[in-house]
């Protein structure tokens, strides 16, 4: 796996929450969406998604429900809870601050 | 964490714990869905089905690993481990049932005894009254009591309280209800019914809402109103079978019918903890409820309760009430008050004390026996813990190889300690559950032992020496038991757990077990056995001392005949008789009972034979002045008795000089008296010189009185006090003072003493029937033999003796089980060594002796430690002992001997097993 994904590991939770904030999805779809949105920059192995999803579920940020998927199979769909949404807002704000600080720092070095 | 999140988290955790299989299925399904989808995608790109599946699996990366990571996300690993440990502990327990039974039983005994005593102490001492805001409740008391009139003024003027109420409690034996038309309690078969005479504000003050019906209204306390009553939930249950139409039902007392207007809520039994009230009636009924107290309850100090106004502290209430009470006293004294009494009023203190836990003189009177028992059950629990620690220690040594294997394949030592601790906790929980069952059983025995107070003569209401409690398993008892169990589990589990985890790996796996164990002579297990023996010796010595105390007390010469006497305790005052009519009742009772077959003689007195408590001599005072001599003050206690002729003969007390009273000694004859020997000796030198002398007694009966006789001393208080100098004076029952109307009628209480030919109790029913024909309204409190009465008086001593005996017995059994376990275990470990010894020529006798000597050393060490400890704690119990020193050598010797004998039997079994070792088999097993 390429190096940038280390960064992703730390923020995988944030990404999953963000994706689920748009619409409830099953694990497989979350993985696909992740790759799509990041145009394959963020490489998350299929399997590592699930421990993250389960962790979020047990933390109470997301909730799961077994529903019919588009190909008529039972699949576990995850959706954001209300506190999950608040958590996402807080984490996104943190991320904004962190990333702007870092990019400012990076630009400073280049100048 | 916000509530909203909990709503998601809690069900998740619960599901993880209790629907583990479902969670697993769902996890598998979720992952297989993912892989199927990925494979389908790949197939759409042109892969073959099998290649697509393989690629999908590879992309997923280690299905089982991922699953484990998902399980970790559940955050319940600790609990999962615990569940596995508990299951494992259960398997271990099933595998060695003998060990389990011994462990659980000894622990159950220890925990059960503690739980039983705790719930008793809790109910008596710690629990708050079941009322609203018990913390605002206070008891108000002036040094010399509060009269009815003073209470009324206090209630009107005290602004520290929202409500004030007064209470007077009294036992009645002649209540009849429709369901039991004959006075069911006539003769005390059902025990007393306790009446609380209360002011109308009582329930409001207490903070109690009447559950059914209504509470008292001020109108109920007004004269002329129909008599009404509120009954307790327990009484409703017991006498009215919880009939829903209770309001309007009636009961009769002293010839008066009372309407029941309400039922107090379940659990509330008045302010007196340990003396539940059955019926409450308005205070104005006092003179009708207790007619034997002329002048009603006005003369009596009463308990006064107050409910503090919000924001008023107890100190503020105390200060303001003191000032107010002094004012009231000054107003009462009026203008013609002397300097001294003004000073006395200015010094009058008023106590305002918290009453959240109710009123209970029982706390004081039972504190010593309960403290002794608490210490006893504590020691018992320690013994049980030491025993278990020892058994576990032995067992964990036996499991060294298993533990070494587990360590070798990667178990963490902390994890091992946790697992071993779990095992002991499982044991302690099972022991605790059995213990609770034992506790319920023990409680019932305990309560029945303290429930009865010795019969008493006074209508003063309630007794501090009986304890009536209702106990049930409640959350407090369960909490206590849980804490005790957990503490015990950790206590006895910790040492074995750590010693097991310290096992050296290499040695344990390779060496033979026998050599690994070795004989650590002064190891923890030796220490534990020695301390068990020492502690149980302490309990045994205690049991011995208390048993001998009881025997001594029962064997004490009381100075009267207690083998042939029947005692009939009655309250004729409740029939409303006065003056001569009362004296005639006494005469009729004496005459009619004397004539019954099987009865030698009958006589009556107004003082108890054995009161149940000893009077302490107070300040020196003038009790009696010999005519023509100067007054001689003396510090002696003494009561005046009014007796019928024949009293001394019936009781078996010799008259040392002069004569007994006769029917000619009436209110119109010259006044006469009989003294007891101690009193005669103090005033006249000896009995003979007293007879024929004239004296004047202190107090209202100051007429010139002739001493006509001197009777021998006898024990009047308790056997403990014995015939201790008490200055007793006897007057004929027709003495003017006895008949004096206006004062308390001296004859209002009557104890009939009956001397029988054979077994006294055999005539009891005949006596009861005869009394009923004389007057069916005459309340009979109790009929018992003098011997039974003595047993009642010695109730607390018997309680301590019996329970300490039981504790001692249990302690010794546990300690010997421990000894048995340890010795057996050591013998088993040394089988091969013993085999070698036998092979080298040791005799079976020698082996037997060797094992017995080893256990003998343990027992001897324990006994020495126990004896030394007993000297230190001796003085703690010495005040409870009678006729035996706390360091009595005989008791110590017999306790030690008993312990040696029982321990010898416990050690004999494994010793014989050792001697029976077959050297060939023993050596081959290596």
Give the per-residue SS3 of B138-179: EEEEECCCCCHHHHHHHHHHCCCEEEEEEEEEEEECCEEECC
Mean pLDDT computed over B858-883 = 90
Binning pLDDT at 50, 70 and 90, where does residue B755 land? Answer: very high
Q: For residues B417 and B128, give the distance between their C-alpha atoms in angstroms, rounded to a whole number.
A: 41
Q: Which residue has the higher pLDDT, B69 or B163?
A: B163
Higher-scoring residue by pLDDT: B337, B389: B389
Alpha-carbon distance of B506 to B871, in angstroms, equals 49
Residue B817 burial (CB count, 10 A): 20
Could you give the C-alpha distances from B568 to B274, B614, B653, B776, B790, in angstroms and in order?
Answer: 26, 22, 18, 15, 14
CB contact under 8 A, A59 and B9: yes
Q: Are residues B343 and B381 in the same domain?
A: no
Query: Across residues B768-783, what is the average pLDDT?
Result: 90
Residue B196: its H or E element: strand B193-198
3-class SS of residue B279: strand
Residues B293, B152 share a domain: yes
Domain boundary residue, one of B755, B778, B801: B778
pLDDT at A47: 83
pLDDT value of position B297: 53
Taking CA atoms, B27 is separated from B589, B648, B757, in Å, by 91, 94, 90
Q: Residues B199, B265: one domain?
A: yes
- Structural domain includes residue B680: yes
Q: CA-to-CA distance for B387 and B390, rounded, in angstroms?
A: 5
Q: Do B59 and A82 touch (CB under 8 A)?
A: no
Report the SS3 class of residue B24.
helix
The minimal CB distance from B8 to the residues A28, A63, A75 is found for A63
Q: B226 touching A, CB under 8 A? A: no
CB A54 to CB B74 under 8 A? yes
pLDDT of residue B190: 57
Chain A residues close to B31, C-beta within 8 Å: 50
Is the domain of B667 the same as that of B590?
A: yes
Provide mean pLDDT across the span B412-426: 81
Q: CB distance A28–B6 less than 8 Å?
A: no
Residue B630 confidence (pLDDT): 87
How many Å is the Cα radius of gyration of chain A?
15
SS3 content of chain B, % helix, strand, coil (to 5): 55, 15, 30
Which residues, other chains included, contact A77 with Cβ-Cβ below 8 Å and sequence gap of 6+?
A: A24, A25, A26, A64, A65, A66, A67, A69
* Burial group, residue A87, by CB count within 10 angstroms (0-12, 13-18, 19+): buried
pLDDT at B182 over 60: no
CA angle B64, B68, B69 (to 5 degrees): 115
Beta-sheet pairing, B279-282 with B228-231:
antiparallel
Residue B590 inside a domain? The answer is: yes
Q: What is the largest CA-CA distance in chain B?
A: 140
User: Among the listed ranges A64-78, B124-138, B194-208, which one has the minimum average pLDDT value?
Assistant: A64-78
Please tell me whether residue B263 adopts helix, strand or coil conformation: strand
CA distance B527 to chain A (A): 49
Whether B204 has a pLDDT exceeding 90, the answer reads yes
**Residue B253, CA distances (Å) to B168, B228, B257, B576 in order:** 17, 12, 7, 12
Measured CA to CA in angstroms, residue B814 lies from B105, B383, B568 at distances of: 9, 7, 46
The two beta strands, B729-732 and B640-643, are: parallel
Mean pLDDT of B648-652: 95
Chain-chain contact of A55 with B12 (C-beta, under 8 angstroms)? no
Q: Confidence band (pLDDT; 50, 70, 90) for B822? A: confident
Whether the per-residue pLDDT at B372 is higher than 60: the answer is yes
Q: Mind telling me how many Å the CA of B2 is from chain A's nearest CA?
A: 8
Contact call for A81 and B8, based on CB within 8 A: yes
What is the pLDDT averaged over residues B313-330?
91
Shortest CA distance from A73: residue in chain B? B33
Handedness of CA B883, B889, B894, B896 (dihedral sign): positive
SS (H, E, C) B535-584: HHHHHHHHHHHHHHHHHHHHHCCCCCCCCCEEEEEECHHHHCCCHHHHHH
* Chain B residues with CB-CB distance to A66 below 8 A: 26
Q: What is the DSSP string of B477-539?
A: HHHHHHHHHHHHHHHHHHHHHHHHHT--HHHHHHS-HHHHH---TTSHHHHHHHHHHHHHHHH
Domain that holds residue B846: 523-557+790-926
Mean pLDDT of B94-116: 88
Q: Examine the fold and report which residue of B753, B778, B803 is the final residue of a domain before the chain moves on.
A: B778
3-state helix, strand, coil in chain A (%, to 5): 65, 15, 20
Q: Are B548 and B884 contacting, i.e. CB atoms less than 8 angstroms apart?
A: yes
The contacts of residue B99 (CB under 8 Å, 6+ apart) are B93, B391, B395, B821
Predicted confidence (pLDDT) at residue B568 exceeds the cutoff of 70: yes
| C-alpha pair distances (Å), B217 with each of B114, B213, B230 | 45, 12, 12
Q: Report the complex ipTM.
A: 0.87
For residue B653, the model assigns a pLDDT of 95
- Residue B388 inside a domain? The answer is yes
Model confidence at B517: pLDDT above 50: no
The yes-or-no verdict on residue B719 having pLDDT over 50 is yes
Closest-approach residue (CA) in chain A for B67: A51
> What chain A residue is nearest to B34 in terms of C-alpha separation?
A28
Could you tell me where the beta strands, DSSP code E, fall in B269-377? 279-282, 303-308, 350-354
Given a contact cutoff of 8 angstroms between Cβ atoms, the answer to whether B227 and B286 are in contact is: no
- Least confident segment among B87-96, B285-294, B874-883: B285-294
The closest alpha carbon to B115, from B373, B392, B356, belongs to B373
- pLDDT tier at B825 (50, 70, 90 boundaries)? confident
Contact B692, B676 (CB under 8 A): no
Judged by DSSP in three states, B644 sits in coil
Residue B517 belongs to a domain: no
Q: Does the pLDDT at position B294 exceed 70?
A: no
Looking at the predicted structure, is the pLDDT value of residue B129 above 90?
yes
The beta strand positions in B233-284, using DSSP E, are 250-253, 256-263, 279-282
Does B61 reach chain A within 8 Å, measured CB to CB?
A: yes
Contact at CB, B8 and A26, closer than 8 angstroms: no
Would you say residue B777 has pLDDT above 70?
yes
Which site among B16, B30, B56 would you substitute to test the A interface, given the most A Cβ atoms closer than 10 Å to its Cβ?
B30
Select the residue from B17, B34, B59 to test the A interface by mutation, using most A Cβ atoms within 10 A.
Answer: B34
The secondary element (H helix, E strand) that includes residue B213 is strand B212-213
Per residue in B149-170, pLDDT (tens digit) is 888 889 999 889 999 999 988 8
Most A-contacting residue of B11, B70, B72 (CB-CB within 10 A), to test interface: B70
B434-466 pLDDT tens trace: 999 999 999 888 888 888 788 877 655 556 778
Mean pLDDT on B175-182: 66
Which positions in chain A touch B14 (Cβ < 8 Å)? Answer: none
Q: pLDDT grade, residue B515 (50/70/90)? A: very low
Report the pLDDT value the prediction gives residue B1, as an integer from 0 to 100. Answer: 63
Which of the listed ranges B591-605, B736-750, B866-880 does the model predict with the highest average pLDDT?
B591-605
Residue B154, domain member (yes or no): yes
**Helix and strand counts by DSSP (H, E) for chain A:** 4, 3
Position B519 pLDDT exceeds 90: no
Number of domains composing chain A = 1
- Top residue of A28, A79, A80 to mutate, by most chain B CBs within 10 Å, is A28
Q: How many domains is chain B partitioned into structurally?
A: 5
Residues 28-57 of B with CB under 8 A from A: 29-31, 33-34, 36-38, 40, 56
pLDDT at B505: 62
β pairing state of B250-253 and B175-177: antiparallel
Chain A residues with CB within 8 Å of chain B CB: 26-28, 31, 45-48, 50-51, 54-55, 57-61, 63, 66, 69, 71, 73-76, 81-83
Which domain CATH number covers A42?
1.10.10.10
Nearest to B794 by CA among B488, B553, B628: B553
Average pLDDT over chain B reads: 85
Interface test mutation site (partner A, options B4, B5, B16, max chain A beta carbons within 10 A):
B5
**pLDDT the model gives residue B518:** 42
Q: Residue B618: which residues within 8 A CB-CB, separation 6 or more?
A: B635, B637
* Cβ contact, residue pair B61, A73, below 8 Å: no
The pLDDT assigned to B244 comes to 87
Report d(CA B361, CA B145) in Å as an integer: 16
CB distance A50–B36 less than 8 Å? no
Low-confidence ranges of chain A (pLDDT < 50): 1-6
Q: Which residues of A touch B2 (CB under 8 A)?
A: 83
pLDDT of B180 reads 54
**Nearest-CA distance from A73 to chain B in Å?**
8
Distance from CA of A61 to the nearest CA of B (A): 7
Whether B72 has its CB under 8 Å from any CB of chain A: the answer is yes
- CB-based contact A50 B30, cutoff 8 Å: yes
Instruction: Please judge whether A81 and B29 are an interchain contact, meaning their C-beta atoms are less than 8 angstroms apart.
Output: no
Range of the structural domain that residue A96 is part of:
5-110
Instruction: Tell me: do B191 and B335 sit in the same domain.
Output: yes
Q: Which residues contact A73 (CB under 8 A, 6 or more apart)?
A: B33, B36
In order, the DSSP letters of A38-50 are TTT-S---HHHHH
Say which of A45, A46, A76 has its CB closest to residue B26.
A76
Question: Average pLDDT of B257-278?
Answer: 92
Label residue B401 by pLDDT band (50, 70, 90).
confident
> Which of A17, A31, A58 would best serve as a mutation to test chain B binding (most B beta carbons within 10 A)?
A58
- Percent of chain B past pLDDT 70, that is, above it, reads 92
Q: Would the pLDDT of B63 be above 80?
A: yes
Segment B664-687 shows an average pLDDT of 92
| B828 reaches A (C-beta below 8 A) | no
Question: Does B592 lie in the same domain as B530?
Answer: no
DSSP B297: G
B383-397, B529-543, B686-700: range with lowest mean pLDDT = B383-397
Q: What is the DSSP string of B717-782?
A: S-TTTTT-----EEEETTSHHHH-SSSPPGGGSEEEEEEESS-GGGGHHHHHHHHHHH-TT--EEE
**Are B577 and B671 in the same domain?**
yes
pLDDT tens column, A75-104? 899 999 988 899 899 888 888 888 888 888
The answer on B121 and B142 residing in a single domain is: no
Element (H, E) at B697: strand B694-697
* Distance (Å, whole) CA A28 – CA A49: 9
**Cα angle vertex B560, ends B556, B564, to 5°?**
105
pLDDT in tens, B17-34: 788 888 888 888 888 888
Gap from B42 CA to chain A (nearest CA, Å): 13
Place B889 in a pLDDT band, splitting at 50, 70 and 90: very high
Which residue, of B748, B778, B808, is where some domain finishes?
Answer: B778
Instruction: State pTM to two decimals.
Output: 0.76
Structure tokens at B144: 């010399």
- Given A28, A31, A58, which is nearest B12 (Cβ)? A58
> If you count them, how many residues does chain A have?
111
Kindly state the percentage of chain B with pLDDT values over 90. 35
Reading phi first (left if > 0) and then psi (alpha if -120 to 50, else beta), residue B579 is in left
HEC string of B71-99? HHCCCCHHHHHHHHHHHHHHHHHHHCHHH
Give whichever of A67-71, B470-474, B539-543, B840-844 has the largest mean pLDDT.
B539-543
Cβ distance of B33 and A28 shorter than 8 Å: yes
> Do B886 and B813 belong to one domain?
yes
Cβ contact B66–A51 (<8 Å): yes
Exposed, middle or buried by CB within 10 Å (0-12, 13-18, 19+), for B742? exposed
Q: Does residue B856 sit in the same domain as residue B714?
A: no
B340 Cβ neighbours under 8 A, 6+ residues apart: none
In this complex, the residue of A51, A73, A75 whose CB is nearest that of residue B70 is A51
Question: Which pLDDT score, from 0 to 100, does residue B187 have?
Answer: 40
């Amino acid at each position: 796996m390429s190096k940038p994904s280390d960064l992703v590991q730390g923020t995988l939770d944030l990404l999953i929450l963000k994706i689920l904030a748009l619409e409830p999805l099953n694990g497989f779809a979350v993985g696909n969406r992740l790759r799509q949105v990041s145009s394959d920059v963020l490489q998350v192995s299929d399997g590592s998604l699930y421990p993250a999803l389960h962790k979020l579920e047990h933390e109470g940020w997301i909730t799961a429900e077994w529903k019919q998927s588009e190909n008529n199979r039972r699949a576990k769909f995850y959706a954001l809870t209300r506190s999950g949404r608040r958590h996402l807002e807080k984490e996104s704000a943190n991320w904004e601050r962190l990333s702007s600080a870092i990019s400012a720092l990076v630009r400073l070095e280049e100048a | 964490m916000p509530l909203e999140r909990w709503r998601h988290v809690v069900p998740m955790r619960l599901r993880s714990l209790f629907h583990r299989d479902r969670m697993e299925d769902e996890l598998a399904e979720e992952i297989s869905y993912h892989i199927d989808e990925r494979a389908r995608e790949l197939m759409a790109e042109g892969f073959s089905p099998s290649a697509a599946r393989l690629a999908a699996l590879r992309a997923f990366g280690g299905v089982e690993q991922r699953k484990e990571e998902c399980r970790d996300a559940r955050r319940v690993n600790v609990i999962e481990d615990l569940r596995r440990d508990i299951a494992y502990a259960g398997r271990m327990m099933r595998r060695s049932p003998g060990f389990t039974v011994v462990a659980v039983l000894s622990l159950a005994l220890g925990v059960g005894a503690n739980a039983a005593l705790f719930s008793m102490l809790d109910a008596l001492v710690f629990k708050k009254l079941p009322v609203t805001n018990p913390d605002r409740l206070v008891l108000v008391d002036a040094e010399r009591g509060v009269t009815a009139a003073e209470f009324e003024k206090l209630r009107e003027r005290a602004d520290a309280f929202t409500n004030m109420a007064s209470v007077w409690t009294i036992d009645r034996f002649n209540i009849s209800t429709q369901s039991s038309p004959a006075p069911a309690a006539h003769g005390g078969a059902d025990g007393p019914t306790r009446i609380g005479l209360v002011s109308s504000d009582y329930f409001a003050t207490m903070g109690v809402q009447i559950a059914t019906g209504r509470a008292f209204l001020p109108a109920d306390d007004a004269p002329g109103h129909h008599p009404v009553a509120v009954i307790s939930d327990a009484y409703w249950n017991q006498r009215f079978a919880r009939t829903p139409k209770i309001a309007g039902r009636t009961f009769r007392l002293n010839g008066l019918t009372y309407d029941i207007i309400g039922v107090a809520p379940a659990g509330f039994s008045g302010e007196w903890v340990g003396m539940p009230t059955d019926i409450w009636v308005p205070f104005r009924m006092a003179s009708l409820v207790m007619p034997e107290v002329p002048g009603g309850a006005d003369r009596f100090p009463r308990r006064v309760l107050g409910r503090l106004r919000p924001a008023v502290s107890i100190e503020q209430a105390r200060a303001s009430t003191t000032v107010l009470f002094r004012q009231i006293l000054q107003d009462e004294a009026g203008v013609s008050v002397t300097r001294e009494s003004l000073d006395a009023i200015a010094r009058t203190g008023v106590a305002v004390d918290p009453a959240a836990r109710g009123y209970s003189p029982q706390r004081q009177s039972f504190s010593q026996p309960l403290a002794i028992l608490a210490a006893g059950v504590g020691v018992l629990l320690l013994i049980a813990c030491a025993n278990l620690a020892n058994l576990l220690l032995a067992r964990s040594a036996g499991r060294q190889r298993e533990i070494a294997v587990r360590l070798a394949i990667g178990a963490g030592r902390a994890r091992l300690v946790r697992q071993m601790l779990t095992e002991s906790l499982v044991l302690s929980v099972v022991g605790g559950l059995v213990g609770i069952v034992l506790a319920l059983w023990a409680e019932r025995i305990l309560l029945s032992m303290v429930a009865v107070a010795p019969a008493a003569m006074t209508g003063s209401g309630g007794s501090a020496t009986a304890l009536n409690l209702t106990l049930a398993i409640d959350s407090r008892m369960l909490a206590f038991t849980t804490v005790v169990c957990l503490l015990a589990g950790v206590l006895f589990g910790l040492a074995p757990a750590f010693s097991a985890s310290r096992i050296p790996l290499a040695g344990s796996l390779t060496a033979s077990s026998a050599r690994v164990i070795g004989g650590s002579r002064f190891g923890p297990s030796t220490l534990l056995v020695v301390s068990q023996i020492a502690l149980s010796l302490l309990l045994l010595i205690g049991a011995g001392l208390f048993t001998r105390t009881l025997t001594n007390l029962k064997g004490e010469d009381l100075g009267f005949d207690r083998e042939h006497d029947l005692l009939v305790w009655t309250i004729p005052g409740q029939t409303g008789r006065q003056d001569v009519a009362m004296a005639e009742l006494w005469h009729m009772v004496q005459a009619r009972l004397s004539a019954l077959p099987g009865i030698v003689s009958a006589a009556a007195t107004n003082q108890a034979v054995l009161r149940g408590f000893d009077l302490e001599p107070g300040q020196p005072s003038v009790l009696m002045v010999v005519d023509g001599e100067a007054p001689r003050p003396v510090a002696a206690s003494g009561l005046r008795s009014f007796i019928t002729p024949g009293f001394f003969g019936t009781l078996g007390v010799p008259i040392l000089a002069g004569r007994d009273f006769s029917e000619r000694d009436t209110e119109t004859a010259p006044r006469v008296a009989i003294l007891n020997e101690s009193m005669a000796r103090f005033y006249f030198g000896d009995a003979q010189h007293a007879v024929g002398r004239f004296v004047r007694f202190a107090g209202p009966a100051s007429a010139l009185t002739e001493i006509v006789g001197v009777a021998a001393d006898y024990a009047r208080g308790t056997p403990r006090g014995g015939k201790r100098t008490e200055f007793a004076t006897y007057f004929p029952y027709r003495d003017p003072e006895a008949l004096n109307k206006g004062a308390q009628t001296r004859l209002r209480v009557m104890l009939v003493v009956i001397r029988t030919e054979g077994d006294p109790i055999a005539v009891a029913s005949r006596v009861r029937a005869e009394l009923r024909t004389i007057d069916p309204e005459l309340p009979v409190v109790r009929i018992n033999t003098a011997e039974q009465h003595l047993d009642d008086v010695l109730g607390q001593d018997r309680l301590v003796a019996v329970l300490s005996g039981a504790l001692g017995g249990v302690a010794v059994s546990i300690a010997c089980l421990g000894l048995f376990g340890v010795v057996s275990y050591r013998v088993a470990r040394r089988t091969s060594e013993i085999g070698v010894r036998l092979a080298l020529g040791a005799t079976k006798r020698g082996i037997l002796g060797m094992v017995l000597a080893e256990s003998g050393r343990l027992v001897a060490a324990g006994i020495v430690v126990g004896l030394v400890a007993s000297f230190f704690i001796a003085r703690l119990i010495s005040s409870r002992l009678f006729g035996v020193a706390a360091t009595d050598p005989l008791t110590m010797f017999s306790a030690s001997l008993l312990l040696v004998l029982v321990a010898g039997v416990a050690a004999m079994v494994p010793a014989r097993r050792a001697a029976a070792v077959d050297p060939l088999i023993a050596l081959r097993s290596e």
